[in-house]
Each structure stands twice: as C-alpha cells, then as structure tokens.
Structure 1
Amino acid sequence: MKKTIFMLGIVSAILAGCESDEKIESLSQENNTTNVAARRSCASDEVLKEQMAKDPELARRISDIEVFTQRKLNENFESRLVNGVIEIPIVVNVLYRTAAENISQAQIQSQIDVLNNDFNATNSDYNNVPTLFSNVKANVGIRFVLDQVVRKSTKKTSWGTRDAMKKSAQGGLSPISPTTKLNLWVCTIGGGILGYAQFPGGSSATDGVVIDSKYLGTTGTATYPYNLGRTATHEVGHWMNLRHIWGDATCGTDYCNDTPSHNTANYGTPAYPHYSTCTGNPVEMTMNYMDYVDDRAMFMFSADQKSRMLAIFQAGGPRYSFAQ
C-alpha cells in the first residue's frame, strides 16, 4: 500500500503527471469524431494543467486544498446528513445537434440511479470486489437528486475540452447555482474523450462535470463498453477531489493509503489478479472507479477515497457551500 505524499511535492506531482496513452486532440481543436472511443480517456488531469497554466493562483489553491484534506483525514469529522447521507442536487445541461444527442429523461434518470448505487454501495456488482480488498471497499454515503434539466439546440458538432459548453457566450449553457448544485453537461466532446471534471479549487463559472452523450447512463445512446454509467461515477469522483488511481504518473500517488500503487492506467477488463510493476509488485485495484477499465470492470471506491471525498464538504472545505 502506498504512503500519502503530503504538502511537499503536491503541485509538482500534479504538473509532472504524464498524459494518457491517447493524445488529447480536443484540447487544442474541435474534433468531429463520432465513433466509440477505443479506450477510456478522461481529460480531467489535462484540463487541470491547462487551467493552472492560465491561472497561477490555482496551483496554490490546489495545494491548500490538499493540506486541508490531509488535516481533515486526521480528524474525526462529521458530515452534513440528509437521512443519513450527503445530498447533492444535479443540474443536467443537454447540448444537442441531433435528435439522438437530445437524450431522453429516462436516460438522464438512469445516470442519476447509477450514481446513487455506486456512491452508496448498492450497485449489483459491489460484491464482486475480491477478498483482498473487501476490508477497504466503501459505502461513500452520498445521494444525488435530479434538480432540473436544461436543453439547448446547437449547430456544433463537437465541443472539445476548453469549457465552451459551460459558457452561454460561446453557444453553451452557463452553470446554474454552481456553488450549491453539481452541474453536469451532456454533449459531444470529440477527440475520443468520454468525459472530464473540474477539480475543487477552480472557478465556479466552469465548475462541474462534462460527459459525452454516448457514455451517459445505461439506456438510449449509452454505448458499450461504456454503457453502465461509470464514466459519470469516475468524473464525479474527480469533482470530489479523487485522482486517477495511478496518480497520472508512473507509480504516482492518488493520496490514498489503501489503494495499491499502479504503474499506469488499466484498460478493458483485466484478469484478476493483475500485478503492478511498482515497488513490492502489489495486486492492482483495477476494479476501482478511478482506473480506466471498462464500465463492467469497475465497481468500488476505497475507504480512504471515501474519507477524501467527504473531507471537502467540511467547514472550510472547497465544497462546504453544498452543506449549507
């Protein structure tokens, strides 16, 4: 099990993270790709680097958030509860060019259902967690409720990853109450990107999660092997301050002590056990939501990931406004 890197090196670890195996074309230009992504690709880390390059103060805020998070992990904090769990309202912003992209209410609700199952350990595959990790698999205890759906027709064939979909002035939809509601944009991203999220610390004007319409929920346009709603689970994990399980670097850190060191991302449906090439050759937690495996192959958060997510909702935390 890897040790948490604390304070020193926090920002440098973020900046040193390597890009995913698939080049993120949409960071620099729109891409009309409509085929199903060959492998899972999340642009959250790349978007964070872009944001830090534009906003020098963001690196400091990210570092401060990490210091706050680590301090809270050493305390016995209490979470704001609604019938036992934290409750997050979700605004779904649908940007569509075709009828298929104007996804149905049923498809949207299927995604809300997946989030509720995955974050409350009621997903049907939760018991598939191997015995090796059974003592650290976690019920995060966060409930998601659909607040409203906003729809807008557009002529854009793809939106890229520069947050244009979040800006009305650029043809998108500006976020609604982003300090108290999780905004989720559904659109064609392009470039083989399934989705991306903004980490805590970024501007409220662009805060939220973006999911390509082909990978949202479990029905309608949801496309195999990303048709079980786990792209949103993964991206909401980022929005709640989780890192990729391999730390976006060879044997990097995700700041969680109970997740084994991964030498890099895993794809598809890895056979268990899958051994890391990192120090000690631990069995990798490939079934963790923060890896890159197919939807059907990911089905758990760890206890330290749970604590890390809940910490940001505490007084003084970057998502505390959701707890007011």
Structure 2
Amino acid sequence: MKKVFLSAFAALVFFSCQNDQSENLDQDTNTIAQRGCASQDVLDAQLRANPALAIKMNEIEAFTQNQVLTNRLVNGKVEIPVIVNVLYRTTAQNISDAQIQSQIDVLNKDFNAANSDYNSVPALFSGVKANVGITFVLEKINRKSTTKTSWGTNDAMKKTAQGGIAPTSPTTKLNMWSCAIGGGILGYAQFPGGSSATDGVVIDSKYFGLSGSANAPFNLGRTGTHEVGHWMNLRHIWGDANCGSDLVADTPTHNTANYGVPAYPHYSTCSGTPVEMTMNYMDYTDDNGMYMFSNGQKSRMAAIFLSGGPRAAFGI
C-alpha cells in the first residue's frame, strides 16, 4: 500500500493540475456505455474561476492529513439530513418518492458495510475494508417542472435564476439534485471547500437509486455512493492521473480508471505492480462491481466533520 506525504506546494499543484477524463456516450442508443463522473472537471472549472479556492482546499488537505496522522479522529456517528431536489421535463424524470428513498437506503447500506456484496471483498483487502459509520435521513423532497432537455455541469440546476432549485441549508444538510445532466455524465459532486451556494451532489435521474433494469449497469444506486464519497472529500482511486494519488495510504496505486467488472486479480503496471482495488466505490466500475471503502478513506471522510473541518457543522 502507498504512503501519502503532501507538502503545501504539492497540494496546490494537485488541486490545480489534474488530467481531464473523457466520458463515453453511445450515440446510437443514447445510453451511457461507461461511467462518467464530472466532479474533477467541475472542480477544475471552479479553480480556474477562483484561484483562491486552491489555497482553501490546500488548507483543508493539511487539516485532513494532520487528523489522520495524529490519530485524533473520533469514532462517532454522523447522521446526514438529505434534501432531494427533482427537476423534471418528462414523467420518467419525475422520479418517485420510492425511488428517492431507495437511494437513501443504498447510501445507508454502503456507508455502514450492510451492502449484500460487502463480503465479496477479496481476502487481500479484507484487513482494510471499512464500515464508515455514517447514516443518511431523507428530510424533504422538492420538485420543479422544467423545459430543459439537459442541465450540463455548470451548476445551473442549483440556481433559481437559471430555472433550478437553490440548495436548502447546505452547511447542515446534504442537497442532492436529480435531473437530466447530459453529455454522458452520470453525476458529479462538489468537494469540501467550494461555495455553499452550489454545494451538494447531482445525479442523472436515470441513475438515481434503484432505477430498474433498463438503466443497467448503473441501476444499483452506486452513482450516489460514488458522488457522496466525493462530497466527503474522497478522490478517484487513480488520482485523476496515470498512477496518481488519491491521498489515501491503504489503497493501491491504479494506472487509471477501471470500467465494467474487471476480473480479479487486476494488476496495476504502476510501481510495485499492486493488485488494484477495482471494487472500491471510487473507481469507475459498474454498479455491481463496486462494494467497499477502505479504512484510509473512512479516516479521510471522518476528518471533515471534526471541529475545524470543512463540514464541522454536521458534527461528530
């Protein structure tokens, strides 16, 4: 497993110089052939628009690493109230209360090691698989009819002036938007440190919760798990660069993103040729191919809720 050492300068470079990831849309069927998460692309755009954000995120990273290294994390429970904002043009996009609740249920299972595939984690990683211990409670659903065919990734769905729904109390509630994103993107999230006016998670309505076999292989709610992981400060497991760092010590170094459901063991060509943790929620595999967080990722997520952390208002 890799070690993580990040100087202030290196952190600034990390946050401002990530590689863009291409997305894959089957133009013949208008269905997504491979997972596409725009969280890093959105962060890159925010950094270009506001260079001071890199400094703020560097401070968050320094705080996070300090909490992890000094073992000051509190093994407590965090309960996250969730607001779901549904923007719909068609009946199918106006997803049901039951489908919305199914996403909350998936989050509660995945973040509490209660998912049925948790025991499928290979023996190699059994010592680092984690029960994160964070729960989610659906507090309110807001709905709004729209004429937009797609919303893109410029946060328009979060802005009333652009036809969207503004977030509700984003410093103490997780806001999620369900809408037609377009462009081959399943979802994206805002990392800790960004503006509260755009804070939260966006998921395409076709991939929100248990969305049915028609939307396989992204129909098991794992897009939500992946994006909430970003909202809690987790990076893609390959670090958005060839053999990059996800800033977590107990995850193997990946060449790049993995797609589909790779056969185990899948070896990296990075230094040491480690077996890749393709079943980690922060890879790009299909929904039925991802089913674990690591202890290092758990510690990283816990740090943001501590006093002085970017999501301390949620509390531990």
| TM-score clears 0.5 | yes
Q: Please report how far the alpha carbon of residue 219 of structure 1 lies from its aligned counterpart in structure 2 after TM superposition.
A: 3.5
- Matched residue, 1:237: 229
The residue identity in structure 2 corresponding to 1:69 is T
Once the two structures are superposed, what CA deviation does each residue of 1:280-300 show, in whole Å capped at 9, x if it has no partner? 100000000000000000000
Contact 1:33 1:190 in 2 (8 A): no
Distance 1:34 1:96 in 2: 21
Matched, 1:140 2:132: yes
Once the two structures are superposed, what CA deviation does each residue of 1:229-254 show, in whole Å capped at 9, x if it has no partner? 00000000000000000000000000
The residue matched to 1:92 in structure 2 has which SS?
A: strand
Distance 2:42 2:28 in 1: 19
- Matched residue, 1:43: 38
Q: Please report how far the alpha carbon of residue 74 of structure 1 lies from its aligned counterpart in structure 2 after TM superposition.
A: 1.9
Distance 2:184 2:123 in 1: 34
- Matched residue, 1:27: none
The residue matched to 1:202 in structure 2 has which SS?
A: coil
**Matched length:** 314
The residue matched to 2:116 in structure 1 has which SS?
A: coil
Contact 2:24 2:36 in 1 (8 A): no
- Matched residue, 1:180: 172
- Matched residue, 1:64: 59
What are the ranges of 5 or more consecutive residues in structure 2 without an aligned counterpart? none
Quick one: structure 1 residues 240 and 222, their matched pair in 2 at CA, closer, same or farther if it must change by over 3 Å?
farther
Distance 1:43 1:128 in 2: 28
Q: How does 1:287-298 map to 2 (within 5 A)?
A: 287-298=279-290
Contact 1:186 1:213 in 2 (8 A): yes
- What RMSD in Å do the two structures reach over aligned CA positions? 1.7
- Matched residue, 1:12: 13
Distance 2:29 2:56 in 1: 36
Contact 1:275 1:281 in 2 (8 A): yes
Distance 2:34 2:73 in 1: 39
Q: What percent of counterpart residues are identical?
A: 66
Q: Please report how far the alpha carbon of residue 15 of structure 1 lies from its aligned counterpart in structure 2 after TM superposition.
A: 2.7
Contact 1:42 1:194 in 2 (8 A): yes
- Matched residue, 2:100: 108
Q: Please report how far the alpha carbon of residue 92 of structure 1 lies from its aligned counterpart in structure 2 after TM superposition.
A: 0.1
Q: Please report how far the alpha carbon of residue 75 of structure 1 lies from its aligned counterpart in structure 2 after TM superposition.
A: 2.8
The correspondence for 1:307, drawn from 296, 299, 315, is 299
The residue identity in structure 2 corresponding to 1:6 is L
Once the two structures are superposed, what CA deviation does each residue of 1:91-115 show, in whole Å capped at 9, x if it has no partner? 0000000000000000000000000
Distance 1:152 1:34 in 2: 28
Distance 1:287 1:10 in 2: 27
Q: Please report how far the alpha carbon of residue 128 of structure 1 lies from its aligned counterpart in structure 2 after TM superposition.
A: 0.3
Contact 1:100 1:221 in 2 (8 A): no
Distance 2:174 2:126 in 1: 30
Once the two structures are superposed, what CA deviation does each residue of 1:111-134 show, in whole Å capped at 9, x if it has no partner? 000000000000000000000000
Matched, 1:209 2:201: yes
Distance 1:5 1:214 in 2: 39
The residue matched to 1:196 in structure 2 has which SS?
A: strand
Once the two structures are superposed, what CA deviation does each residue of 1:263-314 show, in whole Å capped at 9, x if it has no partner? 1000001000000010010000000000000000000000000000000000
Contact 1:116 1:142 in 2 (8 A): yes
Distance 2:240 2:214 in 1: 27
The correspondence for 1:190, drawn from 174, 182, 194, is 182
- Matched residue, 1:77: 72
Distance 1:99 1:33 in 2: 23
The residue matched to 2:31 in structure 1 has which SS?
A: coil
